[in-house]
Amino acid sequence: MLTSTASIGDQYWLLFPPSQRLLLRIGTKVVDEWQISLDYVRGSNIYVRGSLGLRAWSLRLRA
């Protein structure tokens, strides 16, 4: 039963049988996890580059 408070996304899920809904939700979860992992790797690369840059800068000050 659709209520007036159901969002468009909730209505979209109702178009699929329960078994397909589960697969779609699992697929969405996997994609979300990959996105989080990619963002973490990108952030780590920026952090590593920044720390290497600071290290090189501090070595220049000592020389």
pLDDT in tens, 9-63: 556 656 767 776 666 677 677 677 776 666 666 666 655 555 556 566 566 666 5
pTM greater than 0.95: no
Residue-level pLDDT at 29: 72
* Rg, Å, the chain Cα set: 23
Q: Which two tokens stand for residue 12?
A: 């979209």
